[in-house]
């Protein structure tokens, strides 16, 4: 069964350092989402791609976060510099282009900033 792949699973970094997460969506899925989930809360949309184009990044803290999906396939989310408040689970999800279809989630990357 096809899955959304994310790496790394866990990352510990010191504040002010740079960190990057990678996501490989299910083959053929045009839509890719990056979410941040703080423990005890619902996923917060950071950025949404349609193929290689950003559809929505209104909640992305652009002074320190960046995301790209250059070839419309896999995607990278970067934080530089990391802050203590960035500690969270970062989830990637993908779905086909059709609006009324399921979004499939990767295992997530658990980030701890110390």
Q: How far is CA 89 from CA 1, 9, 47, 84, in A?
A: 24, 9, 15, 13
Shortest separation between residue 74's beta carbon and other proteins, angstroms? 18
Query: Minimal CA–CA distance to 57: which of 8, 66, 37?
Result: 66
Mark 39-58 with x for binding to other proteins (rule: CB under 8 A) and - for no binding.
-xxxxxx--x-x----xx-x
Shortest separation between residue 47's beta carbon and other proteins, angstroms? 11
Residue with tokens 């990767």: 106
Do the Cβ atoms of 39 and 112 come closer than 8 Å? Answer: no
Q: Binding segment for other proteins among 16-24, 71-79, 80-88, 105-113 (CB under 8 A)? A: 105-113
Q: From CA 110, how far away is CA 105, in angstroms rounded?
A: 14
Is the CB of 3 or the CB of 83 nearer to other proteins? Answer: 3
25 is a site residue for other proteins (CB under 8 A): no
Is the CB of 13 or the CB of 107 nearer to other proteins? Answer: 107
DSSP code of residue 71: T
Residues near other proteins, by CB under 8 A:
31, 33, 35, 40-45, 48, 50, 55-56, 58, 91, 93, 95, 97, 99-103, 105-108
């Amino acid at each position: 069964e096809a899955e959304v792949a994310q790496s790394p699973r866990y990352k510990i970094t010191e504040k002010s350092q740079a960190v990057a997460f990678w996501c490989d969506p299910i083959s053929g899925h045009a839509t890719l989402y990056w979410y941040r989930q703080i423990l005890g809360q619902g996923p917060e949309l950071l950025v949404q791609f349609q193929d290689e184009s950003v559809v929505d990044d209104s909640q992305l803290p652009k002074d320190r976060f960046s995301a790209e999906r250059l070839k419309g396939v896999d995607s990278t989310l970067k934080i530089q510099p990391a802050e203590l408040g960035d500690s969270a689970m970062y989830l990637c999800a993908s779905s086909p282009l059709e609006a009324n279809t399921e979004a499939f989630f990767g295992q997530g990357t658990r980030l701890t900033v110390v």
